A and B are shown apart, each in its own frame.
Chain A
Amino acid sequence: MSVVFEKTQLLTDKPFHYCPGCNHGIIHRLVAESIDELVKEGKLEAGNIVGVAPVGCSVFAYDYFNCDMYEAAHGRAPAVATGIKRAKKDTLVFTYQGDGDLASIGTAEIVHAAHRGEKIVTIFVNNAIYGMTGGQMAPTTLVGQKTTTSPYGRDEAWCGAPIKMSEMLAQVPGSYYIERCAVNNTANIVKTKKAIKKAMQYQLEGKGFCMIEVLSTCPTNWGLSPVEAMKWLEGNMIPYYPLGVYKDKGAEAK
């Protein structure tokens, strides 16, 4: 008998508190598996990992990862990660942030962390809505998308167009590797894991700031079933937020 798939040791046994079909669980697993593989490949010591949890639905991320975790103030995960990484240079430091945390209240922190070229990895989960607080409009909410604070749909003339963080941070000179992924099907899940692992490897090589944006669903606040939400993401979010590598200084150098 051989095991084809099992839960990674880097995740604790605590059941996720997320709603049914929420993509946070998939992304948690990809982050944990990437770290686990780096430890097994001997590139990283098991005790040398620190994650920084955000404020948002994933605020309890520190309960789910089997490594050292830190809970930052809302939006300030990149600033906290900067301090950890500068104090302990041989540590793998990652932040796990949602779009309300990273693209709204924490915009200044993430832009300047990228600008300084901090050697951290940011996992940015973009679900185009504020999930934890009850489905309000976020900076990433699509034009025409209905939320509790935009009941007639987001109006571009009034609220502006949704912010594209990957494109924005790719323009910042200090960033090293920026990619946008999704977890809507098995192929994209595998690609997302590769991207996360690559970003972590870059950090261990001391390269620079890496961000992986992962498009995610919020079935509860979008008012759709988990399967319908995946289809909505494929039909609406991916066309506006195209998947792909926006910057990879490592590949350019080759």
Chain B
Amino acid sequence: MVKVMINELLCKGCGLCVRACPKGVLALSKEKLNAKGYHPAEPVNPEECIGCASCARTCPDVAIRIERE
């Protein structure tokens, strides 16, 4: 089981992680707004995650942490 954790306070909603993910796990939130006023990314298909960390490596704000159980 892989867990993708996105720090919503740091996320600027650029969408590069969404592009980088090969499994379509992430999407920008349509409803949520963070303190900076951006729509943060969130895992919409968390069970698909393979833990490749492409999203975390691409994130320009280093807002993603990935754990494997």
| 176-226 of chain A: CB within 8 A of chain B | 183, 185-186, 189-190, 219, 225-226
The interface stretch among A13-21, A67-75, A89-97 is: A13-21
Nearest-CB residue, chain B, relative to A225: B15
Known: A7-B62, A22-B60. 5 other contacts (CB 8 A): A4-B51, A4-B53, A15-B9, A18-B61, A190-B57
Which residue from B10, B62, B67 sits with its C-beta under 8 Å from A29? Answer: B62
In the complex, what distance in Å separates the CA atom of A24 from the CA atom of B61?
9
Decide: B14 and A21 in contact? CB cutoff 8 A. yes
Decide: B59 and A25 in contact? CB cutoff 8 A. yes
Q: Decide yes or no whether A253 CB sits under 8 A from chain B.
A: no
Q: How far is the CB of B47 from chain A (nearest CB, A)?
A: 16
Decide: B67 and A3 in contact? CB cutoff 8 A. yes
Which residue from B15, B58, B67 sits with its C-beta under 8 Å from A189? Answer: B58
Q: Decide yes or no whether B65 CB sits under 8 A from chain A.
A: yes
Nearest-CB residue, chain A, relative to B62: A7
Which residue from B9, B57, B60, B65 sits with its C-beta under 8 Å from A21? Answer: B60
Decide: B54 and A25 in contact? CB cutoff 8 A. no
Decide: B66 and A230 in contact? CB cutoff 8 A. no
Tally inter-chain residue pairs, CB-CB below 8 A.
Answer: 80
Q: How far is the CB of A28 from chain B (nearest CB, A)?
A: 8
Q: How far is the CB of A218 from chain B (nearest CB, A)?
A: 12
Q: For chain A, give the interface size range.
A: 20 to 34
Q: Decide yes or no whether A1 CB sits under 8 A from chain B.
A: yes
Nearest-CB residue, chain A, relative to B20: A186
Taken residue by residue from 1 to 43, chain B's Cβ proximity to chain A (1 for < 8 Å, 0 otherwise) reads as 0100000011011111011100000000000000000100000
Decide: B38 and A4 in contact? CB cutoff 8 A. no
Closest 3 CB pairs of A and B: A25-B60, A21-B14, A20-B12
A-B contact pairs, 27 of them (CB 8 A): A1-B69, A3-B65, A3-B67, A4-B2, A4-B68, A5-B53, A5-B56, A5-B57, A5-B64, A5-B66, A6-B66, A7-B62, A7-B65, A16-B60, A18-B60, A18-B61, A20-B14, A20-B60, A21-B15, A21-B16, A21-B60, A24-B60, A25-B59, A227-B14, A227-B15, A227-B16, A227-B18
Decide: A186 and B15 in contact? CB cutoff 8 A. no
Decide: A23 and B66 in contact? CB cutoff 8 A. no
